[in-house]
């Protein structure tokens, strides 16, 4: 016990205090739930989450050269700002299992449309964070100063020494693979390269004969389950890392810097619940007001097409196909 106390240290609550962590957690789960409650609100929550990540990541870049953060603290902050991107691990494993078929790819039949501008901004943030991750695992973890000589720990489904060669190599390989995927998406978007012939054939088949609404709904549910699992694992990893490394002064919300993120996140979720439960449907939801009568017979919407390859998927809710019940 004495050794554990001597290895503890006071963390930077302004970077990853309890209020900030709770703000991240609420926004993650709120964004996932928003897809099934109100897709209009889901876009706003996704934007708010991206701004929250951008602000925290910018603060991390500013603080790192000042040597005010220990490697384990940077690791915790990266868990928060990079947590949503770990969704790509199960997504790409699933894509490999299905042979990249758009008919079985949940990210290409999303509930909430990913705009081209948001995809570009999200792509830029992902590349910037991935490059920082590579620097951290290749150089920063070995050169950044530490307050004590105590062993620090990270999370990989167990307590792993943060400087273990296998753990470092695993993170480096993951980030290199993700950068390669980013480069391929960039080339596809710029039309520098074309998808292979077999993949173009599958895309044409999906355009002509899209999957049934039941299958699309099942894929959307699969993506929601994957998102929830990833978010939960990142929450567990963050909290256990703080506990394993005996980090103090980061588990209260007694300051404005901690209460503001919590209040903002709770306010977004409360607004989502209010809109989905109490606000009457508008014209965009597909239903008319009680005082109006539809004089134009409904028409069947055209078949859905899969989202293009160059639209980079985000850890957010999938999009509902036209004509499906909400």
Read out DSSP for 74-89?
HHHHHHHHHGGGGGHH
**How many whole angstroms separate alpha carbon 229 and alpha carbon 235?**
10
Beta bridge pairs of residue 159: 155
How many distinct structural domains can be found in the chain? 1
Q: Are 60 and 129 in contact (CB under 8 A)?
A: no
Q: Is residue 264 part of a domain?
A: yes
pLDDT in tens, the chain (326 residues): 444 445 778 888 888 888 889 989 988 888 888 878 877 777 777 888 888 888 899 999 999 888 888 899 999 999 999 887 888 888 888 888 887 777 788 877 777 777 777 777 888 888 999 999 999 999 888 888 776 678 888 898 888 998 899 999 999 998 998 888 888 878 877 778 777 777 778 778 877 777 778 888 888 888 888 889 999 999 999 999 999 998 888 888 878 778 888 888 888 888 888 887 776 554 444 333 334 334 444 444 455 555 554 444 544 433 333 444 43
Q: Is residue 261 part of a domain?
A: yes
Q: Are 64 and 74 in contact (CB under 8 A)?
A: yes
Q: Are 53 and 316 in contact (CB under 8 A)?
A: no
**How many whole angstroms separate alpha carbon 194 and alpha carbon 187?**
8
Q: Is residue 160 part of a domain?
A: yes
Q: Are 44 and 35 in contact (CB under 8 A)?
A: no
- In three-state secondary structure terms, 175 is helix
**CB pairs under 8 A, 24+ apart, for 308-311?**
309/185, 309/188, 309/195, 309/203, 310/185, 310/188, 310/189, 311/114, 311/116, 311/119
Residue numbers of the domain that contains 118: 2-143+153-277
Q: Is residue 63 part of a domain?
A: yes
DSSP strand pairing (9-10 vs 247-248) = parallel
Q: What pLDDT is stored for residue 74 in this prediction?
A: 92
Q: Is residue 205 part of a domain?
A: yes
Q: Is residue 28 part of a domain?
A: yes
Q: What pLDDT is stored for residue 168 in this prediction?
A: 92
* φ, ψ of residue 319 in degrees (nearest 5): -95, 140
Read out DSSP for 62-77?
HHGGGT-S-HHHHHHH
Q: Is residue 251 part of a domain?
A: yes
- Write down the pTM of the prediction: 0.79
Q: Is residue 200 part of a domain?
A: yes
**How many whole angstroms separate alpha carbon 247 and alpha carbon 150?**
12
């Amino acid at each position: 016990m004495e050794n554990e106390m001597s290895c503890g240290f006071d963390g930077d609550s302004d970077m990853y205090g309890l209020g900030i962590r709770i703000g991240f957690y609420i926004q993650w789960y709120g964004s996932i739930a928003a897809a099934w409650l109100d897709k209009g609100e889901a876009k706003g929550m996704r934007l708010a989450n991206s701004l929250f990540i951008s602000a925290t990541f910018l603060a991390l870049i500013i603080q790192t050269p000042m040597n005010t953060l220990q490697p384990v603290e940077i690791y915790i902050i990266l868990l928060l700002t990079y947590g949503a991107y770990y969704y790509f691990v199960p997504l790409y494993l699933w894509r490999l299992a299905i042979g990249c078929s758009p008919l079985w790819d949940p990210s290409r039949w999303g509930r909430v449309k990913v705009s081209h501008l948001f995809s570009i901004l999200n792509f830029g943030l992902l590349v910037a964070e991935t490059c920082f991750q590579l620097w951290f695992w290749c150089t920063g973890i070995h050169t950044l100063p530490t307050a004590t000589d105590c062993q620090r720990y990270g999370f990989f489904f167990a307590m792993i020494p943060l400087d273990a060669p296998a753990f470092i190599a695993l993170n480096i390989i993951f980030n290199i693979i993700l950068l390669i995927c980013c480069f391929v998406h960039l080339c596809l978007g710029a039309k520098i390269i074309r998808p292979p012939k077999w993949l173009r054939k599958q895309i044409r088949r999906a355009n002509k004969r899209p999957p049934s609404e039941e299958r699309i709904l099942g894929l959307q549910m699969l993506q929601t389950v994957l998102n929830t699992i990833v978010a939960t694992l990142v929450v567990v990893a963050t909290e256990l890392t703080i506990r394993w490394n005996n980090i103090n002064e980061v588990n209260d919300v007694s300051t404005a810097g901690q209460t503001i993120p919590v209040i903002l996140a709770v306010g977004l979720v409360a607004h989502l619940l209010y809109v989905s439960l109490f606000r009457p449907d508008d014209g965009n939801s597909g239903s008319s007001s009680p005082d109006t009568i539809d004089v134009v017979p409904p028409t069947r919407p055209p078949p859905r097409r899969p989202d293009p390859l160059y639209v980079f998927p985000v850890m957010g809710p999938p999009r509902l196909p036209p004509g499906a019940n909400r």
